[in-house]
Structure 1
C-alpha cells in the first residue's frame, strides 16, 4: 500500500531522473551541432584533395598513362569497418547498424573492425567476433585521432597481398529517419571518381607543377582522401547517434512528465485521505470525551 512517504520518495526520484534526461537532451543537441560543423569544416580540405587528384591525373593523361590502381584489387578478400556506439540510450541505433553489417558479412571478409563497444557486443552475440575494436571519442575533438588510428590499421591490412577492398558501414540521418544504414567503399577509390577528376580539368589556365614523385604523390593523396571520407562518415554517424539519443530522451521526458502528473495526483488524493481520516479521528475522540453518560 502506498503511503505519503512512499509517494514523496517516488516524486523525488522521478524529478532526479527528469533532470538527468534534460541534461542528456542538452548534451545531445550540442553534440549534433558540433559534428555537423566538423563535417562542414572538412569540406574545404576535400576540395583541396580533389584538386590534387585533378593535377596528378591530368599529368598522367598527358603522359599517356591509364587511371592508377589505388589498391591491389586482384584479391576478393576485404576489410569491413562498422561504425556504432560505445554508449546506450540511443534507441535502436546499434541494432540497426549491427543487423545491416551482419547481412553484408560473407566468407570474403578477411578482417572485421568495429568502432563502438555496444555494436561489437551485438555482433559477437551472433557469432561475428570483431578482429579489431576502436573506442568512440568522447567529443568531436577526438575525431581526428580516431580517423588517424583507423587509417594506420587500413594501411597495415592492405600493405601485403590478400586484401582487395575496404568497405565502411555506418548510420546517417536521411530525411525524417534518424538512423539509416549505408555502405561506402573506401578502397579502391572508385574509377568514377578518378574519371570525374580527369573530366573536371584544372580551374586555372595551366596545370600546377609538382616536384614529388608521382607514385609518392598518389599514395599521399589516397591517404588524405581516406582521411576526408572517414572523417565525414564518422561525423555523420555520431551526429545520427546523438539525434537518435535526443529523440529517445524527448520520448522519455514525455513519459516522465506523465508519470509525475500521475504521482502528484495520487499524492494529493492520499494526503486528502490522510487529513480526512485524522479529522474524523479528532471528531470521534471529541464526541467520546464530551458525550453524556447514559
Structure 2
C-alpha cells in the first residue's frame, strides 16, 4: 500500500484511544463471528477453548447469562464482547486519563487497553507514513502466541483468549484498519470524527461513519435463537474460504475495503448514506463478520490442536 508523508506528525496513542467512542462491530457482530467460529470448530478445539475460558476471572458472571444454553458456548460468546464490555466496567481504568484501579485476582492489571482494538493506516487524498497509535496487528500475534503456549500459566491464556476472539473480529471491520487525514494533518480516527446522515435509519439518522459500520451486521441486542438464525443464514450465503490467511492479510483486506468502499461520496459537508451505498456496505459487513468467524475457528484449531 503506497503512502506519502503529508504535513506534520500528529496523532498520539492517547488522543486516538480517548477519542474512540465506538467499538469495532457492535456486540451482535462479535457474537455472530464467535458463533460461526464455534459451529466451525471440532470438538477437541471446543473442549480446549472451554477449559481455558473456565479459568477467566469473569467466567461465573458470563454463565449468569446462559438462560439454559450450553455454558461453554455462552462463555465463548460472552468472551467475544468482553474487551468492549470492560469499557463501562468500573473495575478497569483507561491509561492516561484515569488513575489505575486495584488489580483483581486473575488479571495481570486492570487497564482497558483501548489501543489494542485498531491500527491507524492512512487512506485517501492525504495518505502519509505515520507510526500507528493502535497495535491490533502486533497484539493479534502476541495473543495467539500466549493462547497456544501450553507452558504459559493457564491464567495468562485465559486472559489472552477473550482478547484474541474479539480482536479477530475487530481486524475485519474496515474502519479499524484505516483513517482519512485532511490537508491540516488531522485524522478522522477511523471515521469516528466523520458525521454522516442516514435517512434509511429513523432512529440513528445522524451518527459517526464508524458507528454506522459497527451496527451494520445486526442490532446490538441480537442473541439467542435470533442470533442462531442469523448465523445459519450467513453460513449458507458465505461458505468457508479455502485459505484463511494471516492477521496481517486480514488487516490489509480491511484497509483496502476502507480505501475503496467505507466512505460515502462527500457531496455535502455531512455525507448522506444512499440506498446503493448501504446495500454494498451491508454486503461487505456480512461477509467480513462471517470470514472472521471461519478464520477464528481455523486459528484456534491451529493453536490448540
Structure holding more strand per residue: 1
Which TM-score tier does this pair reach, normalised by the shorter chain? Answer: under 0.3
Provide the TM-score with structure 2 as the length reference.
Answer: 0.26
Bigger-Rg structure (1/2): 1
Provide the TM-score with structure 1 as the length reference.
Answer: 0.26
Structure holding more helix per residue: 1
